[in-house]
Structure 1
Amino acid sequence: MMKINSKPELTEDNKMVPLENYGIKCMSMGLLVDTDAAFVWRGPMVGNALGKMVRDVNWGNLDILVVDMPPGTGDAQIAISQLLRLSGALIVSTPQDVALMDARRGVKMFSKVQVPILGFVENMSFFKCPHCGEPSFIFGKEGTRKTAAELGLDFVGEIPLEIEIRKGGDEGIPIVISAPDSVVSGAYGDLAQNVINRLEELSKEQPRPEILL
């Protein structure tokens, strides 16, 4: 998705150097194994892998670290809340009821480990017909927005089901790079700004205690 395929180099103290493209430093377990290798890991192995991503990477000075997590409320989510003093969790869901059930569980889990919820993002919000321009709400309409309101949380943005997003991901050229003035790129920009605003709000509140689990 970022047109990065090589394995990371090591520093003199055996820390991995994150690969960089489009001004973003990236690291993934996918860069450390063969392309067709299967990840068959139990809970402790997940925690060890996440620890490697945090402790054994020479991240340097960052504006913000984004950790893309798998769906659900399992070992990966618990492990990351133990490894890092997280500024917040962003809940991403499609608007359909089944997906929102998992999203609600995610909110409860992060709340239990005292991780603030930055808000909800609705992915694949709608599909706009390229011929008539009318939107089709394939996965339901405004389900994520309504769920956020019910839980008293912020709704920070929506991303449509868009062919150019898929194409950019497959080609390793994000749409915000290939078409920065497009409506979809604007949606990503608005989402990012809303998240930054929420982080700034949280930083003004009292510091959270260190979490020991």
Structure 2
Amino acid sequence: STRYAMLRDDRESLANIIDNIGTQENVEHVRIFNKKGLIMFSSNHSETGRLLDKNAAGCIECHSGPVPSATLGDMKQARRFINEKGKDVIAITAPIYNEPGCVQAACHIHTAEQKILGTLDIGLSAVPLVNNLAVMRSRMVIFSIMVLLVTVGGVAALLRRYVFIPLRLLADFTEKAIAGVEQKIPPCAAEIETLAGNIRSLVGELISLRQEKARWKKEE
């Protein structure tokens, strides 16, 4: 591992590890730079030995104040940018802390008070993430539409079963009752049946009044 190679000051193994990681799919860059911002190891050999600007992305998060920050939150360790190749990259910057094993190593040249020895910076292509998010977004849209259709269909079925059909039966019952056709109250919900019974009673009274009025006219 990189930690073991650092503890043994095995620079060749460390360089090989970084090269191997850099050849992995969707890995844009892997580099280690010291506290001064000098790139010591990189999967891109052309930038080895280059000094980074402290105001650059990935550096400014720690060096924004007069005293560099020794720790970073999880969100501040990540950044997204377009690299020199025009690719969308998500990079993670992790500080390399001065551990007791580092201080006790024979090759160690730093004091125990120095908290950070350098930084590990890994950049990954954001294309797979963007594609996955697009697929997830499409699936969520399809799922939402399906849920909407099922919900609308269910509500429509309930309305038809418990509202529209009973109202239609009630309307037919009312028309036939007014026409004087004797019929049974349609089997519906209790409220609809009660309303149908009331309508039949009213229609019966109306028919009785009509018959009474007709009888009075004959007597006159």
- TM-score, normalized by length of structure 1? 0.22
- Larger RCO: 1 or 2 (CA < 8 Å, sep 6+): 1
- TM-score, normalized by length of structure 2? 0.22
Higher percent of residues as strand: 2
Higher percent of residues as helix: 2
Q: Which protein is bigger by CA-based radius of gyration?
A: 2
